[in-house]
Amino acid sequence: MIETTLDSLLIDMPKLFRDDGEMSAIAKHPVDEAVELGPFGFAGNQV
């Protein structure tokens, strides 16, 4: 069995990146509470 330690989870939603309306989700922030993991990823996170 492989064990993995998760030191930090970074999540966020896409935000306006440029004046032309392009969105980006590159700037993510650490969470310090439980986050639900569903079939499409972590709650509160979008790519």
Structure confidence at residue 27 (pLDDT): 87
Number of domain units in the chain? 1
34 in any annotated domain: yes
pLDDT tens digit sequence for 24-41: 988 899 999 999 999 999
25 in any annotated domain: yes
47 in any annotated domain: no
3 in any annotated domain: no
35 in any annotated domain: yes
Model confidence at 47: pLDDT above 80: no
Question: In residues, how long is the chain?
Answer: 47
Q: Does the predicted TM-score (pTM) go above 0.85?
A: no
42 contacts: CB under 8 Å, gap ≥ 6: 9, 11, 35, 36
Range(s) of the domain holding residue 24 = 10-42
32 in any annotated domain: yes
